[in-house]
């Protein structure tokens, strides 16, 4: 299995084309580039995104479970990538750049620590897989975008260092009132939460230790907004493509997680009619921290030209991400999304409303929400009431 995977991975990278010579603008997470004059800047930006791939030889998940996520962890890794981008924006800023051999801030290594393949890291493959059990996913089972969004929301509650407000907007609707209530919590600091040990009742203190990043004088928790969507039946509806492109143009963009059935990618931008993405389907050895201040980090940055695929080939089941560090950022995002929704070059992908519609269920009550991962599941959803629903708490 490993030998076959490594051969496949090597060929995969060998087939990656250099970036196209085109006059079309290149958009990467809210930043516009020229492919003709700013190719090095494009590659620097892509390389600076944290790249999480399959790993092997990490401690067994649950003590006796798998020691590699090859073949099943691609959506989990994509969830790590979109959330890592939120942490980069939160602690380092969108303009931060990684350079090989350069000495980086401790905050950068703190972010990496949060994603290491170990049970006491906030967003490790161990924590995501174990938390997914509560969402009806056994360890080793493939996730959909909705499931990974819900799991990351729950895990973020333990990350008091980042002190994020994570909202997963359901039913294709973003309710401003709900988000403001979440971000303007009266108790923003408080005692540090402890990360649950998946193998016992023991609790781990989250890394890094120290005071909470927020204090009681702050009125807004930085927002990570994840919106699971279905943009068609078996194929993406072309009417949504223009709106999807606009999302990558917003300065608040965290990108999109999705891909093809059972093959997930992290999409960070587009050029022309192609999406630009980071691909988790490469198996690398697990990385251990050498000490509390340094991690061998080269394998967390993809130095190859970015992968591309036709937008029309995108599976319609996706999750779109945005980051709003301040309340002003959120208000700006709302204004821009309103403009996009009335534009003539695409259908709105979701609805933005002031208050929760009366026909919505209580957000504190469990709701049945389908998480489609492929066409077969979609067909079964209309025919069955069994396993195609996931019971997810809001």
User: What is the predicted pLDDT for the residue at 305?
Assistant: 87
Confidence of residue 379 (pLDDT cuts 50, 70, 90): very low
* Dist. CA 169–CA 167, nearest whole Å: 6
Lowest mean pLDDT among 1-5, 55-59, 168-172: 1-5
Q: To 10 degrees, what angle do helices 327-341 and 241-249 make? A: 150
Q: At 263, which helix (H) or strand (E)?
A: strand 263-271
Q: Is 104 a catalytic residue?
A: no
For 338-348, the pLDDT digits (tens) are: 998 887 777 99
User: What is the predicted pLDDT for the residue at 310?
Assistant: 95
Lowest mean pLDDT among 42-51, 100-109, 149-158, 225-234: 100-109
Report which of 249, 253, 208 is spatially closest to residue 49, judged by C-alpha positions. 253
Residue that wins the pLDDT comparison between 33 and 392:
33
Provide, rounded to the nearest whole percent, the portion of the chain with pLDDT above 90: 65
Q: Which long-range contacts (CB under 8 A, 24 or more apart) does 4-7 make?
A: 5/54, 5/70, 5/71, 5/283, 6/283
pTM, to two decimals: 0.83
User: What is the predicted pLDDT for the residue at 66?
Assistant: 95
Which one of the listed residues 279, 315, 371, 388 is annotated catalytic?
279
User: What is the predicted pLDDT for the residue at 380?
Assistant: 33
Confidence of residue 353 (pLDDT cuts 50, 70, 90): very high
Beta-bridged to residue 353, according to DSSP, are 175
Contact criterion met (CB below 8 Å) for 206 and 122: yes
* For residue 325, pLDDT beyond 90: yes
Joined tokens for residue 318: 């996706």
Joined tokens for residue 8: 């496949």
Report how far apart the first and last C-alpha atoms of the chain are (Å, whole number).
38
User: What is the predicted pLDDT for the residue at 377?
Assistant: 41
User: What is the predicted pLDDT for the residue at 204?
Assistant: 46
Q: To 10 degrees, what angle do helices 125-133 and 145-156 make? A: 110
Q: Is 279 a catalytic residue?
A: yes
Which one of the listed residues 45, 74, 117, 247 is annotated catalytic?
74
* For residue 134, pLDDT beyond 90: no
User: What is the predicted pLDDT for the residue at 219?
Assistant: 81
Contact criterion met (CB below 8 Å) for 20 and 273: no
Joined tokens for residue 342: 């009335």
Lowest mean pLDDT among 14-28, 130-144, 170-184, 373-387: 373-387
Which one of the listed residues 281, 307, 371, 388 is annotated catalytic?
281
Average pLDDT, whole number, for the chain?
Answer: 82
User: What is the predicted pLDDT for the residue at 87?
Assistant: 98
Residue that wins the pLDDT comparison between 357 and 224:
224
Beta-bridged to residue 196, according to DSSP, are 203
Residue that wins the pLDDT comparison between 276 and 383:
276
* For residue 372, pLDDT beyond 80: no
Instruction: Summarize the confidence of residues 121-136 as an average pLDDT.
Output: 94
* Dist. CA 60–CA 20, nearest whole Å: 42
For 238-297, the pLDDT digits (tens) are: 999 999 999 999 999 999 999 987 799 999 999 999 999 999 999 999 998 876 678 999
Instruction: Summarize the confidence of residues 369-378 as an average pLDDT.
Output: 41
Report which of 51, 264, 234 is spatially closest to residue 145, judged by C-alpha positions. 264
Torsion of CA 100, 106, 110, 112, to 10 degrees: 0
For 145-158, the pLDDT digits (tens) are: 999 999 999 999 99
Report which of 166, 151, 169 is spatially closest to residue 356, judged by C-alpha positions. 169
* Dist. CA 264–CA 78, nearest whole Å: 7
Q: Is 74 a catalytic residue?
A: yes
For 37-87, the pLDDT digits (tens) are: 999 999 999 999 999 999 999 999 999 999 999 999 999 999 999 999 999
Beta strands 253-260 and 351-353: pairing type? unpaired
Provide, rounded to the nearest whole percent, the portion of the chain with pLDDT above 70: 77
Q: 3-state class of 152 per DSSP?
A: helix
* For residue 135, pLDDT beyond 50: yes
User: What is the predicted pLDDT for the residue at 101?
Assistant: 86
* Dist. CA 280–CA 54, nearest whole Å: 6
Confidence of residue 197 (pLDDT cuts 50, 70, 90): low
Instruction: Summarize the confidence of residues 212-236 as an average pLDDT.
Output: 80
Domain positions in the chain: 2-11+25-356+364-392
């Amino acid at each position: 299995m490993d030998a076959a995977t490594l051969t496949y991975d090597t060929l995969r990278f060998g087939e990656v084309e250099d970036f196209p010579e085109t006059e079309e603008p290149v958009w990467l997470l809210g930043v516009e580039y020229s492919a003709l004059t700013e190719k090095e800047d494009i590659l620097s930006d892509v390389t600076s995104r944290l790249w999480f791939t399959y790993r092997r030889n990490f401690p067994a998940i649950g003590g006796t479970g798998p020691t590699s996520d090859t073949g099943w962890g691609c959506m989990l890794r994509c969830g790590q990538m979109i959330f890592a981008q939120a942490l980069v924006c939160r602690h380092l800023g969108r303009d931060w750049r990684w350079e090989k051999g350069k000495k980086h801030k401790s905050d950068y290594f703190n972010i990496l620590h949060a994603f290491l393949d170990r049970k006491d890291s906030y967003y490790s493959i161990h924590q995501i897989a174990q938390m997914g059990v509560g969402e009806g996913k056994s360890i080793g089972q493939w996730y959909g975008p909705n499931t990974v969004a819900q799991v990351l929301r729950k895990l973020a509650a333990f990350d008091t260092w980042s002190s994020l407000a994570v909202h997963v907007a359901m039913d294709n609707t973003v309710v401003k009132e709900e988000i403001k209530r979440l971000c303007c919590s009266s108790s923003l600091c408080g005692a540090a939460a402890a990360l649950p040990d998946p193998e016992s009742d023991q609790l781990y203190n989250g890394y890094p230790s120290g005071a909470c990043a927020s204090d009681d004088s702050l009125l807004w928790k930085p927002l990570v907004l994840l919106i699971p969507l279905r943009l068609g039946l078996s194929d993406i509806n072309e009417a949504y493509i223009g709106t999807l492109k606009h999302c990558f143009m917003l300065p608040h963009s965290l990108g999109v997680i999705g891909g093809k059935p059972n093959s997930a990618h992290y999409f960070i931008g587009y050029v022309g009619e192609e999406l630009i993405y980071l691909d988790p389907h490469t198996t690398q050895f697990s990385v251990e921290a050498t000490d509390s201040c340094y991690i061998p980090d080269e394998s967390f940055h993809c130095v190859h030209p970015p992968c591309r695929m036709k937008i029309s080939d995108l599976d319609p089941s996706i999750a779109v991400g945005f980051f709003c560090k301040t309340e002003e950022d959120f208000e700006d995002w709302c204004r821009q999304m309103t403009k996009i929704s009335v534009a003539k070059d695409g259908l709105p992908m979701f609805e933005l409303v002031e208050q929760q519609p009366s026909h919505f269920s209580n957000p504190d009550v469990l709701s049945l929400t389908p998480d489609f991962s492929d066409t077969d599941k979609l067909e079964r959803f209309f025919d069955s009431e069994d396993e195609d629903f996931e019971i997810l708490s809001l």
